[in-house]
Each structure stands twice: as C-alpha cells, then as structure tokens.
Amino acid sequence: MNFTQAFKMAAKSISANKGRSALTMLGVIIGLAAVIILVSYAQGQNMAMRAYYESMGTNTINVSASSYRGDVDIGGALYDYCLQLDDLVVGVSPTGYLYSDPTIKFGSKTISRQWQSMGGGAMMSTGQYPNLILGNDKYGLCNDYVIAQGRDLSYLDVEKESKVCVLGSAVAEELFGFADPVDKTITVNGTPFRVIGVYESKSGTINVGGGEDAQWIKDSINRQDYIILFPSTMTRLFNNNQPIDQYIIKAKDAEALKEVTTLVNGFLAGFISQDNGYYYIDNPTNYQNEQAEADKLQQRFLGGIAAISLLVGGIGIMNIMLVTVTERTREIGIRKAIGAERKSIIVQFLIEAAMICGIGGIFGILAGYLGTLIVGKMSFQTILLPSAGITVGAFLISVALGIVFGLYPAVKASGLQPVEALRAD
C-alpha cells in the first residue's frame, strides 16, 4: 500500500467517526493553544522588560566613585580619561541629584514635594515630584534622551555655571501645558533658570503596553520624562558644593562596552587609593543578560506546564487508536491474509494518528493565535502574536504526538494473527 492510499483510508476513517475524532482532537487543540499562549505571554513580558532597559540607555556603564577627603577631582579625571577613549566612548556625564526638594514655579503653576504624616513622626512623600538632575552636555546622549524643542546643555553652560535647564516632557506639560517652554524662565526656590530645551517623551516612543503586568514598567519609563536637568556646576548652588559621586559612560557599541568597562576599572584602580576613596562600576547589561536568562527559564517553565495538557491529549490519541484497532480487527485480518506486510499496517495507523493530531494542531494554532491576541490586549495593551518558530514548532509537536502515541496501537494492530483476526465479530 502506498502513502496516497494510506492517507485516503485515514481520511475516510476520520470522516466516518466525526464526533469521536473531534473529541480526540480537542485534547491536542487545548494543549497546543495553552503552549502557544503561555510562551507568547512570557515573550510579551520579555519585550516589556527590554523596552524598559532600552529606555534607560543602551551600552552604558554606571560609575560610583568618591574621595574621602574630597581633595581629588575624580569627575574631571574620569572625563579627561574618557576623552582619550574617543574610539570606544561617545560620552561621559556626572549624574548628580539635588539633596533638597526645592519649590519649582512658573507663573501660577507650582511643583513642590508633598508630605503626609504616617504617625509616630514618620512622613511619606505623596504625589509626583520631578527628578532634579545635575549633568553635563553629554547627559542626554548617555541616557538616550532626544531634544524635541530648543537645545540641550552645552559645554559652556557647564563651564560658565549658566542658570539654564532642560525639561523632561512631563514637567514641560505640567508647567506650560501646550505653550512653548523654550526661553521661558522658571524659578527653583526663587532662583531663576531659563529653559533652553525640552526632551522628547520616552513613554511616547517606547511601547510596553498598558495592562497590569506592564504597568510598573510603564510607570518607571514615565518617571524618566519627569526630570529637570541642570548644569552639574549648579551643585555649588543646590548642594553646598558637595562633589558628585555618580557618573554614566556611554560606549560606542555593545562590542566596545566590555573593553571600556575593563579600561575604566583599571584607571580608577590606579587613580583612587584604597585609603582615600572608593569606586564601583556597574554595567546594566549584566542585569539585562540575567533578565534574559530568567525569561528563558520562565518560558520553559510555562511551556512545561502547558505540555502536560499535550500529554493528556496524547493519551487520548492512544486510547482512541486502540479502540480503532479493536473495531477494525477483521479488516486487519483480511489485509494480512492477502499478503499485507506488518510495516504497511503500522504505517496506515500511524498516518491516521498523525492526521488526527495534525488537524487538531492546526485548530490548536488558530486557537493559540486568538488567545494570544486576547492576552496581549488585556495584559500589555498591544497586538501580541506568537513567533513563527513557536507556530511551526507547535505543528510539528502535534504531528509527532500522533506518531509517538499512535505507535503502540499500530504495532499491536500489525501483530494480530490473520486467523484470530478473521474470527473477530
């Protein structure tokens, strides 16, 4: 018997028992749909996390360094050293924060830190208050901020201690609404600062969805729009001239990142003595790699849970094929009596089992796509689709399932003795 005949006979058998075949396929459909939906959900979470890390800036190194006696200009030395690595480094900036919470005003609009008593003398900050950052002309570049209006800080702004600032999009919207903030003056604790630029919204360019599972990531990205950047030399005005001990370095690309980390580590080790300071280098890429590994483990775990449904479906396939063998015992006996080989009997039943699982697999994939679209909309507020690899893999798994679980009934059918089979009712 050739394969064409085997497929025709399998299709005829399935068609003759539509209800039973549909119920048998149901286990495969549910199992495959569960695998596709759960793995796609894990990929959606991974997508949201990647968006979060990308919003913080790519190929960056965070440096924490300080001198105990304050007699070493670490920031200046680090800046000069990174200038020598112009083939590897595209920018370096201090990242200072204001120790106080000054009141920010423009006209009748005011932003101030709000506090609420928690009892026992404890206080808790309520509402939103912007991050007030001290940086230089490379801060925006290092943190992947893009100027939407006006200009960014310049080298001269920092050197001349100019009272200027750049606003994040959320602060600009809160203070100015739809008006153009550029060249307007805001006051910070009464000190006037001219707005020279506004950064483009990060939350508007990076989509992580809006469901509950992605909300905390979205909130974190939104916080990056709620900033005001001042020249780092304003530490003399705001922080009693306390030196900044946080820096960010942006490497040229991912390949240069590791080399820059090694070089900067060696430079700081030689520049800062252990008895007069400390330094610490943190590469956010390590966290991204760790998160990627955790995401892979999660996908395998969720896929493993869903695979249990496939196992149940496979057992159903084996059960129904054993029933089919029993029902067709006389047919098998007749075929063997006229010279059919064992392998042709095995092939016939394996093809039938594979067809049942293959058809169930197609419907399972369609159900998985529909379920993934629903989950993507509910969890991430975005269109989430299974990858091509998952789709192809799911179909191949469904066919393999039929072959594996149909093998025992097929072998049993091929082993029937013609005389005994012909006596069956």
C-alpha distance from residue 181 to each of 22, 274, 328 (Å): 65, 47, 83
Q: What is the pTM of this model?
A: 0.62
* pLDDT band at residue 123 under the 50/70/90 scheme: very low
Summarised one tens digit per residue, pLDDT across range 133-169 is 999 999 999 988 999 999 999 999 999 999 999 999 9
Mean pLDDT calculated for residue range 382-401: 80
Return the axis-axis angle of helices 342-375 and 329-337, rounded to nearest 10°. Answer: 140
- Residue 412: the pLDDT is 82
The pLDDT of 247-256, averaged and rounded, is: 88
Average pLDDT over residues 96-112: 90
Higher pLDDT, 24 or 71: 24
pLDDT in tens, 332-373: 777 777 777 788 888 888 888 888 888 888 898 899 889 888
C-alpha to C-alpha distance for 274 and 278, rounded to whole angstroms: 6
Q: What pLDDT does 27 receive?
A: 82
pLDDT, position 285:
65
Confidence of residue 174 (pLDDT cuts 50, 70, 90): very high
pLDDT, greater one: 50 or 59: 59
Is the pLDDT at 48 greater than 90? The verdict is no
Backbone angles phi, psi at 70, to 5 degrees: 70, 20
Give the per-residue pLDDT at 153.
96
Q: Decide if pLDDT at 1 tops 60.
A: no
Cβ(61)–Cβ(259) below 8 Å: no
Give CA–CA dist 117/123, Å, rounded.
5
Cα 164 versus chain centre, distance: 37
Average pLDDT, the chain: 82
**Confidence label for 63 from pLDDT (cuts 50, 70 and 90):** very high
Banded pLDDT at 24 (limits 50, 70, 90): confident
What string of H, E and C letters represents the secondary structure of the chain? Answer: CCHHHHHHHHHHHHHHCHHHHHHHHHHHHHHHHHHHHHHHHHHHHHHHHHHHHHHCCCCEEEEEEEECCCCCCHHHHHHHHHHHCCCCEEEEEECEECCCCCCEEECCEEECCEEEEEECCEEEEECCCCEEEEECCCHHHHCCCCEEEECCCCHHHHHCCCCEEEECHHHHHHHHCCCCCCCCEEEECCEEEEEEEEECCCCCCCCCCCCHHHHHHHHHHHHCCCEEEEEHHHHHHHCCCCCCCEEEEEECCHHHHHHHHHHHHHHHHHHCCCCCEEEEEECHHHHHHHHHHHHHHHHHHHHHHHHHHHHHHHHHHHHHHHHHHHHCHHHHHHHHHCCCCHHHHHHHHHHHHHHHHHHHHHHHHHHHHHHHHHHHHHHHCCCCCCCHHHHHHHHHHHHHHHHHHHHHHHHHHHCCCHHHHHHCC
- In degrees rounded to 5, what are phi and psi of residue 246? -120, 135
Torsion of CA 246, 250, 256, 257, to 10 degrees: 40
pLDDT over 90, % of the chain: 28
What pLDDT is stored for residue 206 in this prediction? 47
Lookup result for tokens 């029993």: 326
For position 208, what pLDDT does the model report? 47
> pLDDT value at position 328?
76
Is the pLDDT reported for residue 221 higher than 70? Answer: no
User: For the CA atoms of the chain, what is the radius of gyration?
Assistant: 33
Q: What is the pLDDT of residue 49?
A: 66
Mean pLDDT over 298-309 rounds to 70
What local confidence, expressed as pLDDT, does residue 78 receive?
A: 92
What is the C-alpha to C-alpha distance for residues 54 and 216, in angstroms, rounded to an integer? 15
Given a cut of 90, is residue 193 above it in pLDDT?
yes
